[in-house]
Amino acid sequence: MSAAGPGDESVALLRQLVAIPSVSGSEQACRDALAAWLEAHGIAPQLHGRNVLATLDGRRQGPGLLFCSHIDVVPVGPGWTREPWDAALENGRVHGRGSNDAKSSVAAMAVAASRLLQQGFDGRLVLAFVCDEETGGEGIEACAGDLPPCDAAVVGEPTGLDVCPGQRGLLRARLVAHGRSCHASRPHEGHNAIEMAARDIVALGALDLGEAHPLLGRATLQATVIAGGTRSNVIPGECTVELDGRPTPQCDNQRMLALVDAATESEVVLKSTRMLPVVTDPDEPIIAIARRCSPTGLVRGFGGVSDLAHLRGMPGVVMGPGTSAASHAPDEWVAVEQVQAATAAYLAIAREFLAAGGRSAHDPRHAGAQGR
Kindly report whether the global pTM for this prediction surpasses the value 0.85: yes
- Specify whether the CB–CB gap between 336 and 11 falls below 8 A: yes
Confidence of residue 294 (pLDDT cuts 50, 70, 90): very high
Secondary structure class of 325 (helix, strand, coil): helix
Catalytic residue list contains 133 = yes
pLDDT tens, position by position, 195-222: 999 999 999 999 999 999 999 999 999 9
Confidence of residue 329 (pLDDT cuts 50, 70, 90): very high
The CATH topology of domain 170-275 is: Alpha-Beta Plaits (3.30.70)
For every residue of 148-177, DSSP letters joined together read PP-SEEEE---STT-BB-EE--EEEEEEEE
pLDDT score at 313: 87
| 155 phi and psi angles, rounded to 5 deg | -105, 120
Cis peptide leading into residue 102 (ω within 30°): yes
Neighbours of 212 (CB within 10 A): 12
How many residues does this entry show for the chain?
A: 372
CA gap 320, 100 in Å, rounded: 9
Confidence of residue 358 (pLDDT cuts 50, 70, 90): low
Q: Please choose, from the candidates 115, 216, 128, the residue with its C-alpha nearest in 3D space to the C-alpha of residue 169.
A: 216
35-60 mean pLDDT: 97
pLDDT score at 258: 97
Q: Which residues contact 159 (CB under 8 A, 6 or more apart)?
A: 302, 318, 319, 320, 322, 324
pLDDT score at 368: 36
Q: Please report the sign of the dihedral spanned by the C-alpha atoms of residue 312, residue 314, residue 318, residue 320.
A: negative
Q: If you ran DSSP here, which 8-state letter would residue 59 be given?
A: S
pLDDT score at 57: 96
Q: Please choose, from the candidates 18, 299, 105, 139, the residue with its C-alpha nearest in 3D space to the C-alpha of residue 113.
A: 105
The pLDDT of residue 357 is above 60:
no
The single residue of 9, 27, 83, 133 carrying the catalytic annotation is 133
Domain ranges of the chain: 6-167+277-371, 170-275
Q: Please report the sign of the dihedral spanned by the C-alpha atoms of residue 56, residue 60, residue 61, residue 66.
A: negative
CA gap 332, 98 in Å, rounded: 7
Q: Please choose, from the candidates 124, 145, 129, the residue with its C-alpha nearest in 3D space to the C-alpha of residue 38.
A: 129
Mean of the per-residue pLDDT values of the chain: 93
pLDDT score at 365: 38
Q: Please choose, from the candidates 55, 60, 57, 62, the residue with its C-alpha nearest in 3D space to the C-alpha of residue 362.
A: 62
| CATH superfamily to which 6-167+277-371 belongs | Zn peptidases (3.40.630.10)
- Specify whether the CB–CB gap between 242 and 228 falls below 8 A: no
CA gap 194, 202 in Å, rounded: 12
- Specify whether the CB–CB gap between 358 and 123 falls below 8 A: yes
**Burial of 1: CB neighbours in 10 Å, binned 0-12, 13-18, 19+:** exposed
